């Protein structure tokens, strides 16, 4: 067994996070190093998928639920406009290999591409 990802440790409650919403499949919490006025991470509770390409191929309904969740949270926590970022691969900035969406809203600039 490989080590649980940092996000699995948040999901299990081992590591604290500011959780704003969750259901059986997804959890959303504030990024520890926000790059916008609102910076949430929407994360599947399964660590089966490393990146958005794997998720889209393996469970497109879960990817669609992530997008719908991002929109709902951007409406609840900001004005409804949002940028959705999936970093895929280390050279694209991915540091946690457990698929997650960055939901960025408010005060966005080119530097906030996560
Ligand atoms: P990535 O670079 O893989 O696209 O995004 C990983 C994100 O997870 C980063 O924006 C980073 O700030 C965030 N992050 C890493 N460790 C933690 C943590 O322990 N708690 C929270 N809330 N966010 C984290």
- The number of C-alpha atoms within 13 Å of 69 and in the hemisphere containing its C-beta is 25
Ligand 1 atom nearest to 30, measured from its CA: 22
* CATH number given to 6-107: 3.30.428.10
* 28-54 pLDDT per residue, tens: 999 999 999 999 999 999 999 999 999
DSSP state of 2: P
What was the pLDDT predicted at 110? 65
Q: Is 100 a catalytic residue?
A: yes
Record the pTM.
0.96
Asked whether the CA dihedral 39, 99, 63, 111 is positive or negative, the reply is positive
Residue 108 has pLDDT above 90, yes or no: no
Question: Atom 12, ligand 1: which residue's CA is nearest?
Answer: 33
* 42-92 pLDDT per residue, tens: 999 999 999 999 999 999 999 999 999 999 999 999 999 999 999 999 999
Map out the domains of the chain as residue ranges: 6-107
* 3-29 pLDDT per residue, tens: 999 999 999 999 999 999 999 999 999
Regarding the beta carbon of 67 and ligand 1, being less than 6 Å apart is answered no
């Amino acid at each position: 067994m490989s080590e649980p990802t940092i996000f699995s440790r948040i999901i299990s409650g081992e590591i604290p996070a500011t959780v704003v919403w969750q259901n059986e499949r997804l959890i959303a919490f504030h990024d520890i190093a926000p790059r916008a006025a609102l910076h949430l991470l929407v994360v599947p509770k399964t660590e089966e998928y490393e990146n958005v390409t794997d998720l889209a191929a393996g469970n497109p309904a879960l990817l669609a639920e992530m997008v719908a969740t991002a929109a709902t949270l951007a409406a609840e926590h900001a004005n409804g406009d949002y940028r959705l970022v999936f970093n895929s691969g280390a050279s694209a900035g991915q540091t946690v290999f457990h698929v997650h969406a960055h939901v960025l809203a408010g005060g966005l600039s080119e530097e906030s591409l996560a």
